[in-house]
């Protein structure tokens, strides 16, 4: 009997590749955990039982035939609803589409080529518009640490599935914090990569300059393993990042002595961070000082990202809504958002992209004096579920402000940024801080995050997670 409770992505792949466990056994155990836990949490919108078992059997057959296993051989993964998986409907969290995708998105193709087994699609708010995973068609997704609380969003289904131990990892997306916010809420490691690091194919972009895809994992290494698989571009991508250093290698390398600036000042005016998050930043600053880094409090002098962010937010949702088969089936709030965003013409988008460059230049001035910026990941504690009940676009946006107060500016600026767990708050829910890196410098974030993880290990599973054992 092999206990996979804390094995994660890299270790699970190693065990399967070594023949200690079978891919089918691992996948069937994951499906059993989904069956047991998802009734309470609602992390999955569709579970691919037959398809996943068949894919796992193919992985076992390939290993028996002597094929060299990939870095994700036999690992069961979940995929956020907005990402195409062949044979499933790309719902964007709603009912606007009805026809299954005919091909995998490029990142899903790369995951499969590395040996991963896709076990299902995970819930999200419609078009990922808000940091709460709630929708009229899919219902409410709950936080495994406290089912009365939200897991965050918009990659909340993926976060709940990983944190609850249903799967070792899953794919999400981040257009304003949607990897980092649910990671912070559910005790996971979630890094938003540099803009253009990961292809958005078959689409040329995700909300223009704002969005990117990436994994939510329980460990830093698991995130690096998946990123080394999915990173890179194809013809037609609107953005491309620089640098090709391995993120897995970065995890194994000491970061050296870094200049780290910390600040708890929110980007968003009128938002006050919870004291638990302020203390988490201060505690992490002391930890980093003890690890030998040059740590100091700084004033980032954040520029206002509103003029760049808001037009791309509206344009992103409207462009995705225009692609669905049944616009009339979209949520009332989504249709309202599309109406409110009618002023965002192509010329306005072009202007907003120009503002994006200006924000990026101003935001990056902090890195003239520091190598990494340390801030809270979110401003509030994970709120009770039902944040979107009965509210329209404007009120929902106001309720989202504390979630994105530290995150969204780095979507505008394009820099890599990671939510790093740092234990539990007095309320029993996870705590996290955000590390922001220089342009194209995920390597430093991975190296530093791994150092923090080693110095201050965090809980790998939420309470009540079922055993992850298989024969």
Q: Which residues are catalytic?
A: 80, 154, 178
Q: What is the DSSP string of 333-373?
A: HHHHHHHHTTT--HHHHHHHHHHHHHHHHHHGGGGGT-SEE
Helix 23-41 / helix 49-64 crossing angle, nearest 10 deg: 160
Sheet holding 417-424, edge to edge: 44-47, 117-122, 76-80, 169-174, 212-217, 189-192, 417-424, 430-437, 372-376, 259-262, 294-297
Measure the CA–CA gap between 177 and 304, rounded to whole angstroms: 16
Please tell me whether residue 375 adopts helix, strand or coil conformation. Answer: strand
In angstroms, the first-to-last Cα distance of the chain is 5
Measure the CA–CA gap between 55 and 16, rounded to whole angstroms: 14
Cβ–Cβ under 8 Å, residues 163 and 219: no
Question: In sequence order, what are the beta bridge partners of 46?
Answer: 121
Cβ–Cβ under 8 Å, residues 79 and 171: yes
Query: Exposed, middle or buried by CB within 10 Å (0-12, 13-18, 19+), for 389?
Result: exposed
Q: What is the DSSP string of 231-282?
A: BB--TT-S--------HHHHHTS---S-EEEE----SSTT----HHHHHHHH
Radius of gyration of the chain (CA): 20
């Amino acid at each position: 009997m092999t206990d996979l409770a804390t094995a994660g992505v890299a270790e699970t792949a190693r065990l399967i590749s070594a023949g200690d466990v079978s891919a089918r056994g691992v996948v069937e155990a994951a499906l059993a955990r989904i069956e047991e836990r998802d009734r309470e949490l609602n992390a999955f919108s569709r579970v691919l039982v037959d398809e996943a078992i068949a894919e796992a059997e193919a992985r076992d057959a390939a290993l028996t035939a002597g094929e060299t296993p990939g870095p994700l051989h036999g690992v069961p993964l979940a995929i956020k609803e907005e990402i195409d998986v062949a044979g499933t409907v790309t719902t964007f969290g709603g009912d606007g589409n009805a026809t299954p995708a005919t091909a995998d998105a490029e990142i899903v193709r790369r995951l499969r080529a590395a040996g991963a087994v896709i076990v299902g699609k995970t819930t999200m708010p419609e078009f990922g518009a808000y940091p709460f995973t709630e929708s009229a068609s899919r219902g409410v997704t709950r936080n495994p640490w406290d089912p009365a609380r939200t897991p965050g969003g918009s990659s909340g289904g993926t976060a709940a599935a990983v944190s609850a131990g249903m799967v070792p990892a899953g794919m999400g997306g981040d257009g304003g914090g949607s990897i980092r916010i649910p990671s912070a809420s559910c005790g996971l490691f979630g890094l938003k990569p540099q803009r253009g690091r990961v292809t958005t194919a078959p689409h040329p972009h995700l909300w223009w300059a704002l969005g990117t895809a990436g994994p939510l994992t329980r460990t830093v290494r698991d995130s690096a393993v998946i990123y080394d698989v999915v990173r890179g571009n194809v013809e037609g991508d609107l953005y491309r990042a620089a640098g090709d250093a391995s993120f897995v290698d970065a995890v194994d390398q000491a970061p050296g002595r870094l200049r780290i600036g910390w600040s708890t000042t929110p980007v968003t005016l009128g938002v006050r961070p919870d004291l638990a998050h302020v203390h988490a930043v201060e505690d992490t600053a002391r930890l980093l000082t003890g690890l030998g880094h040059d740590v100091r409090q700084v004033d980032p002098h954040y520029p206002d990202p509103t003029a760049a962010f808001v037009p791309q937010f509206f344009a992103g949702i409207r462009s995705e809504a225009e692609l669905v088969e049944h616009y009339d089936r979209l949520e009332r709030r989504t249709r309202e958002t599309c109406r409110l965003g009618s002023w965002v013409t192509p010329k306005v988008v072009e202007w907003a992209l120009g503002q994006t460059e200006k924000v990026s230049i101003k935001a990056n001035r902090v890195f003239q004096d520091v190598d990494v910026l340390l801030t809270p990941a979110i401003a509030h504690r994970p709120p009770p579920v039902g944040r979107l009940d009965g509210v329209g676009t404007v009120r929902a946006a106001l309720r989202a402000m504390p979630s994105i107060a530290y995150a969204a500016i780095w979507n505008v600026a394009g820099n890599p940024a990671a939510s790093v767990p740092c234990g539990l708050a007095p309320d029993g829910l996870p705590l996290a801080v955000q590390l922001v890196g220089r342009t194209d410098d995920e390597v430093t974030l991975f190296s530093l995050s791994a150092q923090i993880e080693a110095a201050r290990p965090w809980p790998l599973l939420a309470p009540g997670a079922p055993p992850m054992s298989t024969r």
